[in-house]
């Protein structure tokens, strides 16, 4: 869709326009009816001024805006005088509502999918709707815009040539630590979401598992109380008890130091066999990880295979 936006001056207190459109301050812009299809519309992550003109044209021109929380999206539509009906679409009602949206698309409707903040499908339930809309042959359009992932990455002052988005870390410490041990081997800057009440625990686990990598805590991005704190993980963990926990958090962690030379697999196998002949799988794995440069999970899997072959049974001991 490409709406033709025509500005008109709307006097203060004038009645709402009867045509599709949106308003910026006292200026009203007409918007054409959107062509049939599903529109993935990025919305502000905090500052409502970050919405794009194309997003406003589309939100005003579609038949339905599907959103996670109508109360949150209504703040945006009321700010810009958009009268399109809002329909909730979230993880609790998706199985029931999704077929209805697909039916509407089949009848030629236009639907905009938005998240509470940022780009749809990033840590929200939109994926299945997009997948099924595509499978049914409906047009799907992306309207790029705000993203807390990219906003945090851009201000963290860390390498941006390669990055890995993890989303939310596990809530329980044991599961979180296990996942961080896996992430530690990824040769890229890491971007993670976290809730304020778990940020302290996550920082402590990050410092213990990933050492003294440089990181950034990005809190309340684009909002009035935006705060960016950059420091080595160990320093951030020491100050975690005094951390302001209100608001939305994005944690960005720099990549690991240059990797040591990865040992060839035949050499790794020889090393593991030597260790397994005189000790436990656990000890063999610890020793091999230190010398080989291989990820612990892969060394452990290989050690179990070799132990089983050496001992003719269960490799664990």
- Please indicate, yes or no, whether residues 181 and 278 belong to a single structural domain of this protein: no
Q: How far apart are CA 48 and CA 76, in angstroms?
A: 7
Query: What pLDDT was estimated at residue 271?
Result: 86
Is 55 inside any structural domain? Answer: yes
Q: What are phi and psi of 162, to 5 degrees?
A: -140, 130
Categorize the per-residue pLDDT at 3 as very low, low, confident or very high, splitting at 50, 70 and 90.
Answer: very low
**Cβ distance 55 to 115 under 8 Å?**
no
Residue 317 forms part of a structural domain: no
Let me know if residue 233 belongs to a domain: yes
Looking at residue 263, its pLDDT comes to: 77
Percent pLDDT > 70 in the chain is 90
Task: Please answer whether residues 291 and 269 qualify as being in contact, where contact means their C-beta atoms are separated by less than 8 angstroms.
Answer: no
The per-residue pLDDT for 260 is 54
- The reported pLDDT for the residue numbered 127 is 92
* pLDDT of res. 78: 97
Q: In what order do the strands lie in the sheet with 85-88?
A: 85-88, 64-67, 110-113, 37-41, 140-143
Q: For residue 255, give the DSSP letter.
A: P
Give per-residue pLDDT as tens, 202-257. 999 999 999 889 999 999 999 999 999 999 999 999 988 888 888 899 999 999 88
Q: Tokens representing 69?
A: 């929380």
Mean pLDDT of 276-283: 87
pLDDT value for 308: 86
- So what's the pLDDT on residue 13? 40
Q: How far apart are CA 169 and CA 198, in angstroms?
A: 9
Say yes or no: 25 and 129 in one domain.
yes
Residue 258 within a domain: no
Domain with 218 in it: 149-253
Whether residues 15 and 130 fall in one domain: yes
Domain boundary among 111, 145, 179: 145
Quote the tokens at residue 121: 């499908």
Residue-wise pLDDT for 150-185, tens only, equals 999 999 999 999 999 999 999 999 999 999 999 998
> What is the structure's pLDDT at 46?
92
Residue 100 Rama label (left phi>0; alpha psi -120 to 50; beta)? alpha
* % of the chain surpassing 90 pLDDT: 68
Q: Is the pLDDT of residue 141 over 90?
A: yes
Alpha carbons 115 and 55: distance in angstroms, whole number = 13
Q: Domain for residue 259, yes or no?
A: no
* DSSP designation for 211: T
pLDDT band for position 89 (cuts 50, 70, 90): very high
Average pLDDT for the chain: 88
Residues 196 and 208 in one domain: yes
Whole-model pTM? 0.74
Instruction: Specify whether 203 is located in the same domain as 249.
Output: yes
The pLDDT score that the predictor gives to residue 144 is 96
pLDDT at 276 over 70: yes
Q: Count how many Cα atoms sit within 13 Å of the Cα of residue 191 in the half-sphere of its side chain.
A: 21
36, part of any domain:
yes
The C-alpha R_g of the chain, in whole angstroms, comes to 26
Residues 259-268: pLDDT tens digits?
555 778 888 8
* pLDDT of the residue at 311: 73
> Rounded to the nearest 5 degrees, what angle is found at the Cα of 235, between the Cα atoms of 229 and 239?
75
pLDDT at 7 over 80: no
Q: Give the chain's domain count.
A: 3
Assess whether pLDDT exceeds 60 at residue 11. Answer: no
Residue after which a domain boundary falls, among 120, 145, 170: 145
Residue 264: per-residue pLDDT: 82
Same domain, 199 and 307: no
If you ran DSSP here, which 8-state letter would residue 43 be given? B
- Classify residue 316: in a domain, yes or no: no
Query: 226 and 164 in one domain?
Result: yes
Same structural domain for residues 179 and 122? Answer: no
Both tokens of residue 312? 């003719």
d(CA 233, CA 222): 24
Query: 249 and 157, same structural domain?
Result: yes
CATH number at residue 244: 3.30.950.10
For the ranges 65-79, 224-238, 241-255, 278-292, which has the lowest average pLDDT? 278-292
Both 27 and 123 in a single domain?
yes
Cα(304)–Cα(299) distance, integer angstroms: 9
Q: Does pLDDT of 15 surpass 80?
A: no
Question: Which of the listed residues 206, 227, 253 is the one where a domain comes to its end?
Answer: 253
Strand partners, 134: none
pLDDT of residue 119: 93
> Is the pLDDT reported for residue 293 higher than 80?
no
Total count of residues recorded for the chain: 317
Question: Residue 152: which of 190, 122, 98, 99 has the closest Cα?
Answer: 190
Three-state DSSP string of 257-307: CCCCCCCCHHHHHHHHHHHHCCCCHHHHHHHHHHHHCCCHHHHHHHHHHHH
Report the C-alpha gap between 100 and 233 in whole angstroms: 47
Domain-located, residue 239: yes
Q: Within a 10 A sphere around the Cβ of 260, how many other Cβ atoms?
A: 10
Q: In terms of domains, do 113 and 46 share one?
A: yes
Q: What is the CATH number for 19?
A: 3.40.1010.10
Residue 16 clears pLDDT 50, i.e. is over it: no
Same domain? For 26 and 141 the reply is yes
Q: How far is CA 297 from CA 91, 179, 282, 307, in A?
A: 32, 11, 12, 15
CA-to-CA distance for 177 and 155, rounded, in angstroms?
A: 26
């Amino acid at each position: 869709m490409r709406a033709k936006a025509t500005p008109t001056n709307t006097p203060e207190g004038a009645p709402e326009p009867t045509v599709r459109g949106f308003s910026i301050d006292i200026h009203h812009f007409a918007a054409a009816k959107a062509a049939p299809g599903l529109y993935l519309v990025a919305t502000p992550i905090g500052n409502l001024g970050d919405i794009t003109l194309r997003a406003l044209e589309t939100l005003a021109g579609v038949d339905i805006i599907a959103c996670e929380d109508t109360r949150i999206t209504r703040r945006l539509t009321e700010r810009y005088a958009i009268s399109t009906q809002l329909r909730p679409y979230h993880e609790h009602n998706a199985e029931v509502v999704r077929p209805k949206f697909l039916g509407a698309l089949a009848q030629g409707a236009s639907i905009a999918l938005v998240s509470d903040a940022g780009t749809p499908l990033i840590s929200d339930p939109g994926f299945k709707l997009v997948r099924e809309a595509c499978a049914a042959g409906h047009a799907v359009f992306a309207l790029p815009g705000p993203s807390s992932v990219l906003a945090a990455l851009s201000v963290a002052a860390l390498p941006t040539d390669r990055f890995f988005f993890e989303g939310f870390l596990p809530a329980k410490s044991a599961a979180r630590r296990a996942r961080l041990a896996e992430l530690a081997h990824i040769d890229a800057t890491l971007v993670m979401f976290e809730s304020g009440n778990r940020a302290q625990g996550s920082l402590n686990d990050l410092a213990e598992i990933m050492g003294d990598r440089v990181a950034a805590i990005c809190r309340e991005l684009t909002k009035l109380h935006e705060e960016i704190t950059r420091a080595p993980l160990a320093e951030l963990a020491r100050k975690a008890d005094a951390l302001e926990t209100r608001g939305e958090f994005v944690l960005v962690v720099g990549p690991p130091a240059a990797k040591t030379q990865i040992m060839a697999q035949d050499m790794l196998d020889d090393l593991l066999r030597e260790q397994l002949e005189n000790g436990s799988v656990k000890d063999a794995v610890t020793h091999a990880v230190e010398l080989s440069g291989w990820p612990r999970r892969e060394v452990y899997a290989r050690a179990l295979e070799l132990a089983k072959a050496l001992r003719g049974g269960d490799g664990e001991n």
